[in-house]
Amino acid sequence: MNAAQKHLLVIEPQTSYLDLPLNDIWLYRDLLWLLVKRDFVSFYKQTILGPLWYFIQPFLTTMVYTFIFGKLAKLSTDGLPQPLFYMVGITAWNYFADCLTKTSTVFRDNAQIFGKVYFPRLIMPFSIVVGNLIRFGVQVILLLLFMLYYAWQGSNSQVTWSLLLFPYLIILMALLALGLGLIITALTTKYRDLAFLVTFGVQLMMYATTVVYPLSSINAKYKTIILLNPMTGIIEAFRRGLLGKGQLSWGTISYSTLFTLVVLFLGIVIFNKTEKTFVDTV
């Protein structure tokens, strides 16, 4: 057996922008979990409350939204308890927003690592999407506690069959954030200004999604515009499944799915094209 036959991995230049190195990602799965662990530990390192911030942040946000949008603005919540209504929207939106925000700076934040050692570059954004599932899971536990409390209080919320879509909706949010993040991180290698606009843009996008108001309260004139946001159908499906309220339709889910697939396709193409030369521009 010669030396070439002993190699476990041969590093070759990609021949197509459509390459999705899932096999390489599987081979480097140990690195994937190492990155997930690193991000999880670094989040609460040198903090007093540590992982409790995973509970505190959505709880405080819910209380603020309840006061501002519920008590002051008096926005409709479809007859649901205001904290419960906002908690569902916040839990879903936080996962999407965190994945998008962190993925959008992958090239810039990891330029030193990318320039020194080989590994499938898509592992970095994948680790962000997987790692945020931990935070999402913790926040779902808090949401379930809210649901139990209001059920005990006699709330009119109820779990419906739409809850079966829960795993699919999570995957949809993850892939949508991943696709958008890959496009943005590729563009920021040349246009640094985009990095400053991402956080602001995500906030604006939230108000164009049914996080703080139900779709049923939107004037028909503007409802179509709100439905163009793929996250609207996803969050409405979340509320329908968990609380029994929300306008769930196969049309909106199909649109969100198609939009996600197109964005993910474009993201992979642009990412693969950029990763070959980004070290020279970052």
For the segment 140-192, what is each residue's pLDDT rounded down to a tens digit? 999 999 999 988 988 888 888 888 999 999 999 999 999 999 888 888 877 77
Looking at residue 19, what is its pLDDT?
A: 62
Buried b vs exposed e over 81-96: b needs ≥16 C-beta within 10 Å?
Answer: bbbbbbbbbbbbbbbb
Looking at residue 36, what is its pLDDT?
A: 85
Q: Round to whole Å and give the CA distance between 245 and 77.
A: 9
Q: Round to whole Å and give the CA distance between 157 and 133.
A: 25
* Contact yes or no for 162/248 (Cβ under 8 A): yes
Mean pLDDT of all residues belonging to the chain:
83
Q: Round to whole Å and give the CA distance between 105 and 248.
A: 33
Q: Round to whole Å and give the CA distance between 47 and 277.
A: 38
Looking at residue 102, what is its pLDDT?
A: 87
Looking at residue 156, what is its pLDDT?
A: 80
Looking at residue 18, what is its pLDDT?
A: 56
Ranges of residues in the chain with a pLDDT under 50 are 1
Residue 47 has a CB neighbour count (10 Å cut-off) of: 10
Looking at residue 255, what is its pLDDT?
A: 95
Q: Round to whole Å and give the CA distance between 242 and 251.
A: 20
Q: What is the pTM of this model?
A: 0.86
Buried b vs exposed e over 188-211: b needs ≥16 C-beta within 10 Å?
Answer: bbeeeebbeebeeebeebbeebbb
Looking at residue 259, what is its pLDDT?
A: 96
Q: Round to whole Å and give the CA distance between 226 and 205.
A: 10
